[in-house]
């Protein structure tokens, strides 16, 4: 809403444009905790107190922007590690590319390197200008100006790398797309680009069920990791790799094709684990590992309804090419479950809602509404029949071809229902300290599974603490739903297939019948 100048004048208020305050930088000494409000004061401190002239060192070594970054981070690393620094430092002292990684977050000195380089260039002009004519001086100024512009561009690129700006959100990336919009085709990079955003990793790390399971298994089985070589596929922020290193692994190879690998490398360095963890960027099918075989493969590859995102084939590829005979897979098996549900409240809120939106009929929004898998947390009270484990994947033996399958399922209603709303699908994961495979018992829960000491299990189902995987919800249209008595038996098949339009998407087909009647079949998309 705009306000006219007349109204402002009549109110007797003199409005003035207020410029936003500029960000106040604080410069931290590379030789200690001392901080300074200006770059000049920092440079004077280094020269007068520490006997180290940064500007002169830049000039003596002929450093460009990236060389300056390395020098500053080298000095900070030496201070942090209590390593003496010679006044006559040489370029070889900080030649390692690890010094491109900033030691301080938002290091104002790094952001001001162009000013140091400008001072160096200005001093060169002063010394050479006395013996040069006006034309030569103008040529030198022109050349130095071009160098300064190039350095500013380098600085801008570096700052962007340090201060990532990401506008994608977890919900936007992971929710199924509306069915009336053509799905994105997987061009090989889109999937990995979606994992560059901080939000998606924050969501996964804050999923305590997920992260605690990996941590607990690794820390409770340190004897399995001591002195071993571990491969972490899709390492993300590097959390699992760091768990393994802390548990005693001698070498961890962390692989990820997403840009997040740069952050993982920083995380590893900042936690003092660079000597144990090697970070590699690329798909596991493409990268060259520094070893021929590994003792353990760890990966968090699970997607919605377990197989969405199709990351498991990469783990199986690594298993077949890199895992030593008798080596461990973490997790070792996964189980898919299905159960019938009755939820009239959900139908009213999510489907019938469109028939009266503030008094308007928006039934157009219901188009294809029964054709999509919804991914959300559902209350356990809506489950109206026994859960059926329709597929157990033994990760030591399953093949990629077997990830497209049709499996049988059965259920018995535990109460009378007015209408069968649809079906719920979820999965469990099992972490075993040996190559044995856990086969689920429908009468058990993760708390009662018979496990060896150190084994870990968790579920994404509706009866336990929610996870970021939630559950897959498949809703039936009214024409395919009916009232059923308590004790009625449901049976049928579940088919998992890869979507033709996107190899990382899923098509789920469920066939069911009651008391041996003619089966009904319906297909849902998870895009």
User: Rounded mean pLDDT of the chain?
Assistant: 83
User: Does 300 participate in catalysis according to the annotation?
Assistant: yes
Round to whole Å and give the CA distance between 324 and 297.
10
Q: What's the pLDDT at 165? A: 37
> Which range is least confidently modeled, 107-116, 118-127, 300-309, 380-389?
118-127
Round to whole Å and give the CA distance between 384 and 382.
6
Q: Which of 100, 233, 245, 119 is nearest to 158 (CA)?
A: 100
Query: In the chain, which residues fall in CATH 2.70.160.11?
Result: 333-526
Round to whole Å and give the CA distance between 526 and 415.
29
Q: Which of 520, 153, 203 is nearest to 370 (CA)?
A: 520
Q: What's the pLDDT at 97? A: 79
CB atoms within 10 A of CB 193: 14
Helix residue spans in 229-343 (DSSP H): 239-246, 260-270, 312-322
| 273: exposed, middle or buried (Cβ count in 10 Å: 0-12, 13-18, 19+) | middle
Q: Which of 76, 90, 110, 101 is nearest to 274 (CA)?
A: 101
**Residue 404 · residue 487 · CB < 8 Å:** no
Measured distance between the N- and C-terminal CA atoms of the chain, rounded to whole angstroms: 40
The CATH architecture assigned to 333-526 reads Distorted Sandwich (2.70)
Q: What's the CATH class of domain 196-300?
A: alpha beta
Selected catalytic residue, list 300, 342, 372, 507 = 300
**What SS3 class is residue 488?**
coil
User: Does 163 participate in catalysis according to the annotation?
Assistant: no
**What SS3 class is residue 457?**
strand
**What SS3 class is residue 267?**
helix
Q: Give the DSSP letter string of 105-140.
A: TT-HHHHTHHHHHHHHHHHHHHHHHTTS-HHHHHHH
**Residue 461 · residue 482 · CB < 8 Å:** no
**Tens of pLDDT, residues 126-144:** 444 444 456 666 666 666 6
**Residue 288 · residue 322 · CB < 8 Å:** no
The pLDDT of 435-439, averaged and rounded, is 68
**Residue 268 · residue 277 · CB < 8 Å:** yes
pTM over 0.75: no
**Tens of pLDDT, residues 368-427:** 999 999 999 999 999 999 999 999 999 999 999 999 999 999 999 999 999 999 999 999
The pLDDT of 211-223, averaged and rounded, is 96
Helix residue spans in 295-340 (DSSP H): 312-322
Q: Does 125 score more than 80 pLDDT?
A: no
Within 8 A by CB and 6+ apart from 100, the residues are 66, 69, 70, 73
Query: In the chain, which residues fall in CATH 3.40.50.150?
Result: 196-300
Percent of the chain scored above 90 by pLDDT? Answer: 56
Q: Does 77 score more than 80 pLDDT?
A: yes
**What SS3 class is residue 229?**
strand
Residue 117 binned pLDDT confidence (cut-offs 50, 70, 90): confident
Q: Does 288 score more than 90 pLDDT?
A: yes
**Tens of pLDDT, residues 41-66:** 989 988 888 888 888 888 888 888 88
**Tens of pLDDT, residues 229-268:** 999 999 999 999 999 999 999 999 999 999 999 999 999 9
């Amino acid at each position: 809403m705009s306000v006219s100048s007349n109204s402002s004048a009549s109110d007797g208020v003199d409005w003035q444009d207020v410029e936003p305050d500029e960000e106040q930088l604080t410069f931290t000494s590379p030789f200690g905790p001392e901080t300074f409000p200006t770059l000049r004061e920092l440079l004077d401190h280094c020269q007068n107190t520490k006997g180290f002239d940064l500007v002169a060192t830049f000039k003596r070594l002929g450093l460009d922007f990236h060389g300056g970054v390395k020098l500053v981070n080298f000095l900070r690393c030496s201070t942090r590690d209590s390593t003496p620094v010679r006044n006559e430092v040489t370029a070889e002292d900080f030649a390692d590319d690890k010094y491109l990684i900033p030691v301080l977050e938002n290091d104002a000195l790094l952001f001001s390197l162009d000013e140091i380089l400008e001072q160096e260039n200005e001093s060169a002009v002063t010394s050479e200008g006395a013996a040069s004519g006006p034309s030569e001086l103008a040529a030198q100024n022109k050349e130095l100006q071009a160098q300064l512009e190039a350095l500013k561009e380098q600085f801008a690129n570096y700052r962007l790398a340090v201060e990532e700006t990401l506008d994608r959100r977890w919900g936007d990336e992971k929710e199924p797309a509306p069915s009336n919009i053509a799905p994105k085709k997987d061009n090989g990079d889109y999937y990995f680009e979606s994992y560059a955003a901080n939000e998606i990793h924050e969501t996964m790390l804050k999923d305590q069920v997920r992260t605690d399971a990996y941590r607990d298994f690794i820390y409770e089985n340190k004897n399995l990791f001591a002195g071993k070589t571990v491969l972490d596929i899709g390492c993300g922020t590097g959390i699992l790799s760091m768990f393994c290193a802390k548990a005693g692994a001698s070498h961890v190879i962390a692989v990820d094709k997403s840009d997040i690998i740069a952050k993982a490398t920083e995380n590893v360095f900042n936690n003092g684990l660079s000597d144990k963890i090697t970070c590699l960027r690329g798909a596991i099918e493409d990268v060259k590992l520094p070893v021929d075989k590994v003792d353990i493969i760890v990966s968090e590859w699970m997607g919605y309804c377990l197989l969405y995102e199709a990351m498991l084939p990469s783990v199986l590829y690594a298993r077949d090419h890199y895992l030593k005979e008798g080596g461990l897979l973490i997790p070792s098996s996964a189980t898919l479950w299905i159960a019938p549900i009755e939820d009239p409240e959900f139908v009213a809120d999510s489907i019938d809602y469109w028939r009266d939106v503030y008094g308007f009929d928006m039934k157009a929004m219901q188009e294809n509404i029964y054709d999509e898998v919804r991914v959300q947390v559902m209350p356990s009270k809506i489950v109206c029949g026994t859960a059926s484990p329709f597929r157990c994947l033994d990760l030591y033996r399953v093949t990629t071809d077997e990830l497209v399958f049709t499996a049988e399922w059965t259920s018995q209603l535990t109460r009378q229902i007015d209408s069968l709303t649809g079906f719920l699908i979820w999965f469990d994961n099992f972490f075993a300290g040996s190559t044995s495979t856990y086969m689920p018992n429908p009468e058990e829960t993760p708390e009662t599974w018979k496990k060896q000491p150190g084994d870990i299990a968790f579920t994404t189902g509706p009866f336990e603490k929610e996870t970021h995987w939630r559950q897959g919800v498949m809703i039936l249209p009214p024409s395919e739903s009916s009232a059923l008595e308590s004790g009625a038996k449901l049976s049928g098949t579940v088919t998992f297939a890869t979507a033709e339009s996107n190899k990382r998407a899923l098509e789920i087909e469920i066939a069911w019948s009651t008391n041996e009647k003619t089966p009904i079949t319906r297909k849902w998309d998870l895009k």
